[in-house]
Amino acid sequence: MKICCVCGARPNFMKISAVIAAAEPQPELECVLVHTGQHYDERMSKLMFKDLGLPRPDFNLEVGSASHAVQTAEVMVRFEPVLVDLQPDLVLVVGDVNSSLACSLVAVKLGVPVGHVEAGLRSFDRGMPEELNRVATDALSDLLFVSEASGVDNLRREGAPQDNVFFVGNVMIDTLLRNRHRAEESRVLERVGVEPGDYAVLTLHRPSNVDDPATLGGLIDALEEISLRFPVVFPVHPRTVQRLDELGLRERLHGIPGIRLIEPQGYLDFLKLMADARLVLTDSGGIQEEATVLRVPCLTLRRNTERPATLESGWNRLVGTDRREVLAGFEAVIGTPTGASTAPELWDGRAGERIARVLIELGVPGLRRLQAARGIAPSSGPGPLPD
Ligand code: UD1
């Protein structure tokens, strides 16, 4: 089975890495790696590839940054000829970024089966671009690989055929567990000048948090107060750097002694930063999951999460962006953390293996059967490019 594995943005790299690692030893599975180039910086992409030991992509579409429409369309335009040329048996997309949606749409229209890793997650907030990408990608996909129980319920409610849904666990956690010992060797704490268990680590990049001056200003107020208790280490995402400049907030942030602004970190350094932190503050999706498994209290600076298993574990708490609520959440978790001692179901480091097993057991005829169950007439593969 020839599998075209797609990745595009930073959180995709650790997910696809788990799938490739599990497929590699299997003679029945051949992976071809396509990087769309949605993230392209040295620190957002190349460093991640290096840390994760990912092979050099077979194709790099180099789409770069643009508006949602232009970026999504550009991925589609550049992916189509690659797919026609490759003639894979399956396109595998991960996560919820623009690249995931763009490549699924191209594939289904060419009659190539699509597998979505991390299917079924829902924040029920259509103001988030990722939620739109999730709903649309799942509607298009033939194989729905689900990371947590809520995903199975959501897909059932939306009417996905049950034969197409596979509860396999969380590939992001596979990668975390596989790399945890390597991360122990990182010297990032010394470089930043913090002590284990005595700092918070912060990430912030969601448009809803960083594009609005009032929201971002309120968050900075809350973070300043937290930084009086212990240092807050803040690797700043490029989008956030831009917004801080545009909104004239960079100086204010620089003026707060307890907040340590650093560049985006590689996978291993960031893993070490999270693992040794007293507290994680984030608006990311994946970091909520990683903190849960590392058993570090996490305050999620959002009103909702598509990952309720992290809340049920007790390690994650939604605190929104209002200064008072963030500080109340901080006081609540900083005393005695009371999370579960076991990880959510199937977050055991073997999700990639389960995906590989499903693919081997299905074989190409099985993929075509699942395509038919979705209402797509099986075809002999991608046709020629239109003029
Ligand atoms: C994207 C994903 C988001 C994911 C996040 C992780 C979508 C809709 N969003 O958001 O789900 O959580 O990645 O980081 O797909 N930029 C650089 N260098 C880079 C990449 C981006 O400077 O390598 C800057 C660009 O100016 C760009 C901005 O960051 O305009 C945003 O990048 P983009 O890929 O559009 O979205 P993210 O906010 O990173």
Find tokens 């680590």 and name the residue: 201
Structure confidence at residue 338 (pLDDT): 77
C-beta of 35 in contact with ligand 1 (< 6 A): no
In ligand 1, the atom with minimum distance to the C-alpha of 133 is: 8
Residues 26 and 134 in one domain: yes
Residues 7 and 150 in one domain: yes
Query: Mean pLDDT for the chain?
Result: 96
pLDDT tens for 62-86 read 999 999 999 999 999 999 999 999 9
C-beta of 206 in contact with ligand 1 (< 6 A): no
C-beta of 236 in contact with ligand 1 (< 6 A): no
Residues 189 and 67 in one domain: no
Structure confidence at residue 375 (pLDDT): 85
pLDDT tens for 126-177 read 999 999 999 999 999 999 999 999 999 999 999 999 999 999 999 999 999 9
CA 307 / ligand 1 centre spacing (Å): 20
Residues 152 and 207 in one domain: no
CA 105 / ligand 1 centre spacing (Å): 20
Structure confidence at residue 378 (pLDDT): 57
**What CATH number is associated with residue 213?**
3.40.50.2000
Q: Which helix (H) or strand (E) holds 62?
A: none
Structure confidence at residue 381 (pLDDT): 55
CA distance 204 to 128: 15
Ranges of residues in the chain whose predicted pLDDT is under 50: none
| 100, 137, 239: residue to mutate for ligand 1 pocket, most atoms within 8 A of CB | 239
Q: Which residues pair with 4 in a beta bridge?
A: 32, 91
Residues 318 and 236 in one domain: yes
Report which protein residue has its CA nearest ligand 1's atom 16: 238
Structure confidence at residue 384 (pLDDT): 53
Residues 329 and 355 in one domain: no
240 lies in a domain?
Answer: yes
C-beta of 208 in contact with ligand 1 (< 6 A): no
Residues 67 and 148 in one domain: yes
Structure confidence at residue 377 (pLDDT): 66
230 lies in a domain?
Answer: yes
Question: Given 35, 39, 116, 205, which residue is catalytic?
Answer: 205
φ/ψ of residue 163, rounded to 5 = -65, -20
Range of the domain at 319: 185-333
Structure confidence at residue 317 (pLDDT): 96
C-beta of 113 in contact with ligand 1 (< 6 A): no
C-beta of 205 in contact with ligand 1 (< 6 A): yes
Report which protein residue has its CA nearest ligand 1's atom 11: 97
One-letter-per-residue 3-state SS of 154-216: HHHHCCCCHHHEEECCCHHHHHHHHHHHHHHCCCHHHHHCCCCCCCEEECCCCHHHHCCHHHH
In ligand 1, the atom with minimum distance to the C-alpha of 205 is: 38
Q: Using alpha carbons only, give the angle 9, 14, 18 rounded to the nearest 5 degrees.
A: 135
Question: Does 205 qualify as catalytic in the annotation?
Answer: yes
